[in-house]
Every structure is written in C-alpha cells, then in structure tokens.
Amino acid sequence: MTVLSQGKLFDPILLNKVISNVKGHSSLAKLSTQKPIPFSGSKEFIFSMDNEIDIVAENGKKGHGGISLEPIAIIPLKIEYGARVSDEFMMASEERKIEIMGDFVDGFAKKTAKGLDLMAFHGINPRTGEPSNIIGDNCFDKKVTQTVQFDEQDPDGTMGVVNNMIDGADRDVSGAALDPMFTTAMSKLKNAEGRSLYPQLAWGGKVDEINGLPVDKNKTVSATMKNDKNAAIVGDFEGMFKWGYAKEAFMKIIEYGDPDNSGTDLAGSNQIYLRVEAFIGWAIFDASSFVRVVKAG
C-alpha cells in the first residue's frame, strides 16, 4: 500500500513560477489568455450578433437585431509527472530540499508548457504521442477545418492568404504559432537588393512579433503529425482561446510501495517518489477564427 508521507499544495511563489515558465515555453500560453477554471469545469457563452447597430429616430421604432448564443464547456483534465530519486532527499537540509524542489518545479513547468501545446494543438497524450479519448475533438487539428497549403517559396504570400481568409469571415487575427519550417522559409526571403527581409530569423532566431503580429516559434505546432503537418496556426488566440489551471498544482512525496507501477518497491530500493499533479483545461471558442497552414507530409 502506498503511504503518503507528505501531500501539500505548492506555495503561491512556486505555483506562480510554474505558470510563468509555462508562458515562456508554450505558444498557446504566450499568445492567449490564462484564466482560473472551477474544478468542476465552466461554461463560457459566446454571443454572435447577426446585424449591426441601428439608428433610432425620435419616436421611431426599434427593430430586432438578432443574436445567437453558444455555450462552450471548459472541462479540466488531470496531468501528472513523477520521478524516483534517492531517499537521501529525506535526510537533506531544508535548504537543499527547497533547491531540489525548485528544480523539479522548473522541469514540471516546461513539461506542462509543451504538454499544453501537444494536447490542445493535436489532441494527443504527450507521453504516448497517441490520440487521447479524454481530449476527443477539443483540439485545433480537429476543430479548425480551414486550411491553406504552405508555399515554402512564398511564406509571405501564404500568410496573406490566411489573413484574407480570416478577415473575410469578419474575424480577427491576434497572433500566430509558427513551426520552424515556416520561420526558416521566411529567413530565406530577399529584397530587391538581395538582403534578407527578416534578418532576425537567421540562424534559427526567435522573435516575439513579425510585421506587428505577435508570434511564437515552436516545434509543438507540427509535432507528432505523420501526414499533413502544421507549418503555422494563425488566428484570434487572444479572444477565442482560453486555458487555465482548475486547481493548484500539488506535490506528493511517496516513500513506500510502487507508485509508478514499475514492479520495484521504493523502500526496497532506497528510493522515494516525487509526484506533481495539476488540473488544466482549455477551449477553442470559435474555430472560424483560426486557420491552419499545412504542408503535405
């Protein structure tokens, strides 16, 4: 039987560090809005107003503008990461324990950042790389059906087609998540004098914006895809995508048993097990506000 010698929430400083580090390494967290989510989930309502505002003359009649209301559920799911370490951890000083835990929190934040992108972009379990039944269709690859073929010789033209498509649907573009294949193609573009149009992208450089548009370069945009690969995902990340933690991340220090089902007892191997768990959720409110730029695999 597994015995928990300690199970506690991260203190606010460590939790904020997790969230901060996630924003630094996740395209979705960087380009979109993070908000707290109730543990039981929440419903967000998207209002779609069918007409424009109407001028009413003095003593004039008011007309019906029309509205549609669509509820979008944000259901949190549990994520976890655990690792075996030497039981010398239990004998370390408090300062040393805090140092070790800080490193573990950093690692968890980076894995959570990558995992958020993999789950929300592709609907997969980050550890197995396989489609997740829990996530189902709640991901960009399945919800966003608007696609544009990636032209490696003219990435600027490709982005122009994407923007026209979104603008034509009366939607907004607030950011773009770019796979390295897209930024590499952009770095090769030259002006009439033969100089690079985007010198900041040379040698794999990373930038926060291109032509005034917030962007993030990340391999998670196309990761694990076997056929058509996403070269970019463009759209209204700021208004039409939300993510957040439903519960504070918490740490368990497990001294006995076989918590990772490896077949090896902790106490018999002079080990302890560190496990971090959290609940995270997200929602794509309007798939028409996004376009996937795809390249045939």
Residue-wise pLDDT tens digits, 36-52 = 777 666 666 565 556 67
Residue environment code for 27-49, b if the CB has 16+ CB neighbours within 10 A, otherwise e:
bbbbbbebeebeeeebeeeeeee
| pLDDT tens for each residue of 159-174 | 999 999 999 888 999 9
- Identify which has the larger pLDDT, 129 or 66: 129
Give the pLDDT confidence score for residue 155 in this predicted structure: 95
Percentage of the chain lying above the pLDDT 70 cut: 78
Report the distance separating Cα 197 and Cα 127, nearest Å. Answer: 39
Mean pLDDT, residues 25-42 taken together:
81
Is residue 84 a contact partner of residue 271, using CB atoms and an 8 Å limit?
Answer: yes
Is residue 103 a contact partner of residue 18, using CB atoms and an 8 Å limit?
Answer: no
pLDDT band at 4 (very low <50, low <70, confident <90, very high): very low
Give the pLDDT confidence score for residue 12 in this predicted structure: 54
Q: Is the per-residue pLDDT at 224 higher than 80?
A: no
Q: Is the per-residue pLDDT at 259 higher than 80?
A: yes
What is the average pLDDT score of the chain? 83
Q: Is the per-residue pLDDT at 102 higher than 70?
A: yes
- Tokens 């109730």 identify what position? 38
Nearest 5°: phi and psi at 72? -120, 125
Q: Is the per-residue pLDDT at 138 higher than 90?
A: yes
pLDDT band at 69 (very low <50, low <70, confident <90, very high): low
Q: Is the per-residue pLDDT at 58 higher than 80?
A: no
Mean pLDDT, residues 258-272 taken together:
89
Q: Does domain 4-42+70-137+144-295 have CATH number 3.30.70?
A: no
Burial of 277 per CB tally in 10 Å (0-12, 13-18, 19+): middle
- Identify which has the larger pLDDT, 3 or 268: 268
Report the distance separating Cα 116 and Cα 169, nearest Å. Answer: 28
Burial of 243 per CB tally in 10 Å (0-12, 13-18, 19+): buried
Q: How many alpha carbons fall within 13 Å on the CB side of residue 137?
A: 8
- Identify which has the larger pLDDT, 8 or 83: 83
